[in-house]
Chain A
Amino acid sequence: MINLASSLNKPELIVNGKRIDGRDFNELRPLKIEAGVLKNADGSAYEEWGDNKVLVAVYGPKEAPRYLADPNKAVIKAKYSMASFSGLNGHGRSNPSRREIEISKVTSDVFSNVVDLAQFPGSEIDIDIEILQSDGGTRAAGITAASVALANAGIPMKDLVYAVSAARIEDKVSIDVNMIEDNYSDADIPFAISPRNNDVLLLQFDGGVTREQMKEAENMVIEAGKTISKIQKDALKKSYEEVSKQYEEK
């Protein structure tokens, strides 16, 4: 539906040169990731990004059902879903929405790029992304956490992908929009990046930006990526370092 009524009660998104939550335009929300949080899964991660709360489980490689199996390589099956209680308003549907189906597909595409699929022919690697609480930028949050869960599972990959959304808020290009900014901003541009060479693995967008704003957004994403990558790596080594620390102290 075209929905322009929302713009009628649009809040002031920029106040005194700061964003609605007091951030600078290039400032990320607080991001915390913990690896290996689920016992059953082969790999897992829990992430809090702003008020987003995201849980990711990785299962596999396991035998793929015949209709899905590729005799030459593994198949990535990502499933993005929003918990019915994840939103601030109302109760979510239980069936996968068309939005969820699309996000699941583009997320599968991202990880099909980096995972060493040829090593596991005929298998399936499941990436289950559950958005427990949503606060804008959930697909990027899901991908960033899924990367950690895959590495935590010991699945060989070319790179540790991160994802983040850039946006245009009025005439300002900004990074990592929250829910309110997402609802009222003029463009939300999620990127997934392979940091080794800054290749773009996911790029989706609708709204309106000029070519110059697009370039500014790209640069802001790469800059923010340095922080995100570091947090991902810290999460991965943390549980191992904690064991080491026990002995260093003795």
Chain B
Amino acid sequence: MRHFVFPGEMILNSPSELNYTYIKDDKTYSKILGLFDESSNSLIPLKSIWQPRLNDKVIGVISSKGRNGSYDLEINQYIKGVLLTDRRDRQRYYIGDIVEGTVKEIERRKTVILEKPMLLKNGILMKINTAKIPRLMGKENTMINELTDLTDTKIAVGKNGYVWIMGENKNRAIEAILRIDREAHVPGLTNRIKDMLENKE
């Protein structure tokens, strides 16, 4: 069973280090608006703000060129991305390029150092709330695989909420992603998205 929880609501009578919670007097409280799944003891946020972690895949837009082959990347309202490129990497980037990178280092929760860049060309960028990213990926990437297969698009998903889509049918994919964003909390989502894309309703 899932039920709504609110900031300040006690969700467990014992201390437990769950995401989006805090512990006070040996009890666990929610910090956010979310759904608590009693069977798995997990708290699913309905909206969240990205907290960078090592190895997170992130998508951003090159905003300026730094020193020693580094670039500044716009990835979030306040977290700065710095993209490091390998000397052997002949790829050059220009302001406005959309790039995917992997978080290598986090400095004071405010700057993330990114490596392993990949230029994302000819697609478009959209943004969804980061709380919906796990749903967009699906269990073992089932949802995103389904989505790319059925729409014949390429999709890259950044943990920071940016989603890049390329292909003829990108509008169908966007439609599906917006629906995932809207209905992420309603069970049976995978089937609904599948129906939607297969039936071309």
Give residues in A with beta carbon < 8 Å to B: 43, 60-64, 71, 114, 116, 119-124, 151-160, 194-196, 232-233, 236-237, 240, 243-244, 247
Q: Which of B81-89, B112-120, B152-160, B181-189 contacts A (4 or more CB under 8 A)?
A: B181-189
Tell me if B32 and A61 are in contact (CB < 8 A): no
**Other-chain contact of B8, A119, A122, A153, A158 (Cβ < 8 Å):** A158
Tell me if B78 and A62 are in contact (CB < 8 A): yes
Tell me if A151 and B108 are in contact (CB < 8 A): no
Interface class of chain B by DSSP: loop
Knowing A121-B109, A243-B183, the reply to whether A60 touches B77 (Cβ < 8 A) is yes
**Other-chain contact of A61, B6, B10, B20, B49 (Cβ < 8 Å):** B49
Give the chain A neighbours of B51 by CB distance below 8 A: 119
Q: How far is the CA of A210 from the CA of B112 in the complex (A)?
A: 56
Give the chain A neighbours of B96 by CB distance below 8 A: none
Tell me if A119 and B7 are in contact (CB < 8 A): no
**Would you give the 0/1 interface string for B25-49, flagging 1 where the beta carbon is closer than 8 Å to chain A?**
0000101110000000000011111
Determine whether B93 belongs to the interface, using a CB cutoff of 8 Å to chain A: no
List 13 contacting pairs A-B, 8 Å CB cutoff, sorted by A.
A116-B31, A120-B109, A124-B78, A151-B7, A151-B32, A152-B33, A153-B49, A158-B7, A158-B8, A158-B31, A160-B7, A232-B6, A244-B186
Q: Count of B residues near A, CB < 8 Å?
A: 31
Determine whether B53 belongs to the interface, using a CB cutoff of 8 Å to chain A: no
Tell me if A156 and B32 are in contact (CB < 8 A): yes
CB distance from A33 to the nearest CB of B (A): 13
Give the chain B neighbours of A195 by CB distance below 8 A: 8
Tell me if A71 and B7 are in contact (CB < 8 A): no
Determine whether B131 belongs to the interface, using a CB cutoff of 8 Å to chain A: yes
Most buried by B among A123, A152, A156: A156
Q: How far is the CA of A232 from the CA of B183 in the complex (A)?
A: 22
Q: How far is the CA of A64 from the CA of B4 in the complex (A)?
A: 32
Determine whether B110 belongs to the interface, using a CB cutoff of 8 Å to chain A: yes
Give residues in B with beta carbon < 8 Å to A: 4, 6-8, 10, 20, 22, 29, 31-33, 45-49, 51, 77-78, 80, 108-110, 129, 131, 182-183, 185-186, 188, 192
Tell me if A154 and B47 are in contact (CB < 8 A): yes
CB distance from B30 to the nearest CB of A (A): 9
Tell me if B49 and A240 are in contact (CB < 8 A): no
Knowing A151-B32, A151-B33, A157-B7, the reply to whether A123 touches B129 (Cβ < 8 A) is no
Give the chain A neighbours of B48 by CB distance below 8 A: 154
Tell me if B108 and A121 are in contact (CB < 8 A): yes
Shortest Cβ distance from A62 into B: residue: B77
Shortest Cβ distance from B21 into A: residue: A156
Tell me if A244 and B109 are in contact (CB < 8 A): no
Most buried by B among A64, A152, A154: A154
A sample of 13 more A-B contacts (CB under 8 A), given A63-B78, A151-B6, is A61-B78, A62-B77, A114-B7, A154-B32, A154-B48, A156-B49, A237-B33, A240-B46, A240-B185, A243-B186, A244-B186, A247-B186, A247-B192
Q: How far is the CA of A240 from the CA of B183 in the complex (A)?
A: 8
Tell me if A196 and B29 are in contact (CB < 8 A): yes
**Other-chain contact of A233, B4, B129, B182 (Cβ < 8 Å):** B4
Give the chain B neighbours of A158 by CB distance below 8 A: 7-8, 22, 29, 31
Q: How far is the CA of A134 from the CA of B197 in the complex (A)?
A: 49
Tell me if A243 and B182 are in contact (CB < 8 A): yes
Most buried by A among B29, B48, B109: B109
Give the chain B neighbours of A196 by CB distance below 8 A: 8, 10, 29
Tell me if B129 and A154 are in contact (CB < 8 A): yes
Tell me if A122 and B22 are in contact (CB < 8 A): no
CB distance from A156 to the nearest CB of B (A): 4
Knowing A61-B49, A243-B182, A243-B185, the reply to whether A156 touches B31 (Cβ < 8 A) is yes
**Other-chain contact of A63, B8, B31, B77 (Cβ < 8 Å):** B77
Q: How far is the CA of A195 from the CA of B29 in the complex (A)?
A: 13
**Other-chain contact of A236, B31, B33, B129 (Cβ < 8 Å):** B33
